[in-house]
Structure 1
Amino acid sequence: MSFVAHPTAEISPDATIGAGTRLWQHCIVLKGARIGRDCKLAHNVFVEGGVWIGDRVVIKDNVCLYDRIEIADDVFVGPNAVFTNVRNPRAHVSRKDVFEATRIARGVTIGANATIVCGNAVADYAMIGAGSVVTKDVPAYALMVGNPARRIGWVSAAGEILKGDLVCPRTGERYKTEGDALVRVS
């Protein structure tokens, strides 16, 4: 099984796209981009050549992914989320030699209209609230909101907000804190 693309999608023959992936209207995928299996890229998604996307990733409408962005498996990126790859852009100054990597780890959710500033990593299963601005690394399972984004709690791998006992109400999985981190124990 190969990928499926809407007739208006523009896909370089030198991009790698996994089986079962679907690309909708007006998607653009440049030479060198790598998109995994069973992904869904909604209307008007742009993927530059230096981007790596894992398997089972959902990217909603109007998202641009620029060089040096890595997205692991099972990530959800909400509509109009913004990623950057240079901190001090100027139209008249080339900065291609200082692009900073952004790494989004497995199972992360990025809400609608959130901004991820380049050079930061979002660890496994973190959840970034709609409209939040990530300006520093995000720990695993963190629930982040605001501008700048700050941790207001923890979420389970299933995306449920964890209360005081740190047990996922959906799966029964247990978690514990270790310093400023959360780890799954069962």
Structure 2
Amino acid sequence: MTTDAGAGAVRALWIAPSADVDPRAVLGAGSTVADRAQVREFARVGPGCTVGYAAYLGPGVILGRQCTVQDFALLYEPTLLEERVHVGPGAVFTNDRFPRAVSPIGRLKTTADWDLVGVTVRTGASIGANTVCVAPLTIGRWAVVADGSVVTADVPEYALMDGTPARRVHWVGQSGARLDRVGPDLFRCPVTGALYGEHNGALRPLGIAPR
């Protein structure tokens, strides 16, 4: 295992004694890896991340700066989390379109038989507890996926997703709060006062509203 200090990192890396971290993984300064977590070969964990109890990061999985992967979450390769992503406890990121134990001729499958596909989560997005993200898909910046959802398609930026399969039920701001509609295609965050505009099914920040 090697360490990556990263720009501006100040805290030391901490790994619980019972964690299983492959020596070929790279972990950033200020990150913590809890008991019984497993970080596989060539995984990269950015500075200031938290990997929870019994969480799993598959080979080559990448976490950007200040990501949180909570207890029992399973992130199979080739998952990519950008910066400041939150993954709730028990979430599962899949990587196989056609899961089978054996090949068509009855031979037990190995990793060499898989056509791996991944889940990409953009900056600031939050994935709720016990959510299943069915690869391949991309979850947009600052989106929120509600607990227990099953995500089967790409998620727009700032979308609040819920259900099985998950559908957009509202918009959220960077704070994570549901936005208030204040005009045609215009929304305001109740926490920060930031304004957002909707156009053609997409949401974009417009700035801070005067108070």
TM-score norm. by structure 2 comes to 0.85
Residue aligning to 1:139: 156
The 2-side partners of 1:65 and 1:116 are apart by: 10
Shift of 1:2: 3.5
Which of 141-150 and 92-101 deviates more? Answer: 92-101
Counterparts of residues 169-180 of structure 1 (less than 5 Å): 169-180=190-201
Residue aligning to 1:111: 128
1:122 pairs with one of 136, 139, 144 = 139
Residue aligning to 2:99: 89
Q: How many residues align?
A: 186
Residue 16 in structure 1 maps to residue 37 in structure 2: no
Residue 45 in structure 1 maps to residue 62 in structure 2: no
Counterparts of residues 67-86 of structure 1 (less than 5 Å): 67-86=77-96
Shift of 1:31: 1.2
The 2-side partners of 1:73 and 1:24 are apart by: 20
The 2-side partners of 1:18 and 1:175 are apart by: 34
For residues 38-59 of structure 1, give each alpha carbon's deviation from its aligned partner in whole angstroms, at most 9, with x where no partner exists: 0111100111112110111111
For residues 135-178 of structure 1, give each alpha carbon's deviation from its aligned partner in whole angstroms, at most 9, with x where no partner exists: 10000000000000000000001101002121111111110001
The 2-side partners of 1:64 and 1:175 are apart by: 33
The 2-side partners of 1:178 and 1:119 are apart by: 26
1:168 pairs with one of 173, 189, 192 = 189
Give SS of 2:117's match.
coil
The 2-side partners of 1:130 and 1:29 are apart by: 24
- Structure 2 contact 180–190 (Cα < 8 Å) conserved: no
Give SS of 1:175's match.
strand
The 2-side partners of 1:148 and 1:131 are apart by: 10
The 1-side partners of 2:91 and 2:76 are apart by: 12
Letter in 2 for 1:38: G
The 2-side partners of 1:19 and 1:105 are apart by: 22
- In structure 1, the gaps of 5 or more residues are none
Letter in 2 for 1:44: A
The 1-side partners of 2:118 and 2:88 are apart by: 20
Q: Give the superposed CA RMSD.
A: 1.1
The 2-side partners of 1:64 and 1:133 are apart by: 14
TM-score norm. by structure 1 comes to 0.97
Residue aligning to 1:99: 116
Shift of 1:97: 4.2
- In structure 2, the gaps of 5 or more residues are 1-10, 104-108
